[in-house]
Structure 1
C-alpha cells in the first residue's frame, strides 16, 4: 500500500496529471492480472540507476574506511528496490510515444497522483512510496544519503525530459528473489482515468483496443490522441 515518507518530495496537488506509455501486451497484462509490474532498479537501461554522484561517492568512501559493510549495503540494495516510472505532464508527450511504443501501436494511461495513491492501497504485502525524480550533474552535485531511497530519486540531467515521478518499494524484508521485477496488486479502475491510443495507429487497432477494454469489463474513457487532431487551414 501507499505510505507517505516525509523525506520524499511528491507533487502537492493530487490532481497532478501523470502518464504511463506502454505496448498492448503490457497493457493487457495489467488489465487481466490486476497487477502492475515494477522493475528491479538495476535492470533499467540507465546504468546509473540507484548509484551515487561523484561527490557523494567520495563521501561514502570516507565513511566506509572504518565500516566496509556500509558501501556493500548500497551496492546490494539495488537488487531489492523495485520501481514503476510515470511521466508528469499536463499534455501528451510526442517524445514519450516515440520512446516507449513501437510500430505505431501502443497506449498511454492517464492518471493523477491522487488516483495512484488510492490504487496502491489494494496491495497488502509491500509498502510503496511515490516521489519526484531530481535531475542533477553527477560530476558536481551531491546526492543526500540520509535516506536509503534517495539514490533512486536522482538521475542525470540528460534524462530531464522524462519529468519522472516514480513508485518505489524496498522488498528487502520480504526476502524475495527478484529477477527482472515483481508485480503488485492495484485497483485498475482507480488508477486509470483515461486511455489514449497511439496517434499513428490504424482504425482496426483503435477498434481492437475499444473492444478489448469493453469485453474485460472496464468503463474508463478511451480517447483519440490529441496529436492526431485534424489540421485547420
Structure 2
C-alpha cells in the first residue's frame, strides 16, 4: 500500500499518453477481476531483462570476489520483480497492433502516466515504481545498481521502438513464489482513459466489445481507431 505519492517515481509529465495493446481475453480478465497482470521479469522475451550491461557486470564481479552471495542475489532477484509494460506515444501505433494482437482482433487501452499513478493507489499491497525505460548499448554503457529497480529500467537499443514506460513491483518482502507473474488491484475507471478496437476488426467484433464493456457497468469511452479513417480523395 502506498504511504504517499512519493512511493511512485513518474516521468515529470503526468499527461504523457501511454498505451497497452492486448487481446480480448486478457482485456476481459482485467475488467472482470479489476486487476492488472504484471509479468515476472525473467519471463519476458528479452533474455537480458533485468540483467546488466557488460561494464556494470564487470564492476559487480569485482565487488562479488569477496562476497559471492552479492552476485547470486542479483541473479535470483529477477524472479521477485514483476512488470507491466506500456507504450508511450501521442498516437496509436500500427507497429504495436501488429506485434501484440493477432487475426485483426484486439484492444488498445489509452491511459496517461498520471492515470497509472491514480489507478494504483487503492489498497495496493506492493510498492510500485513507474519509470521510463532507457535504451543503451549493453557492450559499452553503464547501468547504475545502487537502486534495485534500476536494472529493470534499461534495455538494449534494438528495443527502442517500444518507447516503454513500465510499472515495476518488487515482491521480495512478501516471500511469494511467482509462476508467471501476479495480478494487482487497480481502479479500472481511472486506469483507462479510452478503449480503441482493432482497426481491421469486423463489425460484429466491435459491437461485442462495446456491449461487453457496457454490460459490465463501465462508462469508459470507446473510440474508433484512427487507423480506420476513411480515405479522402
- Specify the SS of the correspondent of 1:83: strand
Find the counterpart in structure 2 of residue 119 from structure 1.
119
- The answer to whether structure 1 residue 4 and structure 2 residue 6 are counterparts is yes
Consecutive aligned runs of 4 or more in structure 1 exceeding 2 Å deviation: 1-6
Distance apart, 1:5 and its partner CA:
5.4
Find the counterpart in structure 1 of residue 232 from structure 2.
232
Q: Distance in 2 between matches of 1:183 and 1:14?
A: 24
The answer on whether the counterparts of 1:133 and 1:164 sit within 8 Å (CA) in structure 2 is yes
Find the counterpart in structure 2 of residue 47 from structure 1.
47
- Specify the SS of the correspondent of 1:62: helix
- The answer to whether structure 1 residue 80 and structure 2 residue 80 are counterparts is yes
- The answer to whether structure 1 residue 197 and structure 2 residue 224 are counterparts is no
Q: Distance in 2 between matches of 1:138 and 1:177?
A: 30
- Specify the SS of the correspondent of 2:212: helix
Deviation readout 1:138-176 (Å, 9 max, x if unpaired): 001000111111111000000000000000000000011
Structure 2 unaligned regions, length at least 5 = none
Q: Distance in 1 between matches of 2:123 and 2:112?
A: 18
Are residues 79 and 46 of structure 1, via their aligned partners in 2, closer, same or farther at CA, if it must alter by over 3 Å? same
Q: Distance in 1 between matches of 2:60 and 2:223?
A: 49
Find the counterpart in structure 1 of residue 155 from structure 2.
155
Distance apart, 1:123 and its partner CA:
3.6
Find the counterpart in structure 1 of residue 215 from structure 2.
215
Structure 1 vs Structure 2 CA RMSD: 1.1
- Specify the SS of the correspondent of 2:201: coil
Structure 1 unaligned regions, length at least 5 = none
The answer on whether the counterparts of 2:7 and 2:127 sit within 8 Å (CA) in structure 1 is no
Deviation readout 1:182-210 (Å, 9 max, x if unpaired): 00000000000100000110100000000
The answer on whether the counterparts of 1:4 and 1:129 sit within 8 Å (CA) in structure 2 is no
Distance apart, 1:124 and its partner CA:
2.8
- The answer to whether structure 1 residue 58 and structure 2 residue 58 are counterparts is yes
The answer on whether the counterparts of 2:7 and 2:128 sit within 8 Å (CA) in structure 1 is no
User: Matches of residues 82-97 of structure 1 in structure 2 within 5 Å?
Assistant: 82-97=82-97
- Specify the SS of the correspondent of 2:6: coil
Distance apart, 1:32 and its partner CA:
0.2
Q: Distance in 2 between matches of 1:45 and 1:156?
A: 13
- Specify the SS of the correspondent of 1:72: helix
Deviation readout 1:113-147 (Å, 9 max, x if unpaired): 11110000124311111010000000010001111
Find the counterpart in structure 2 of residue 19 from structure 1.
19
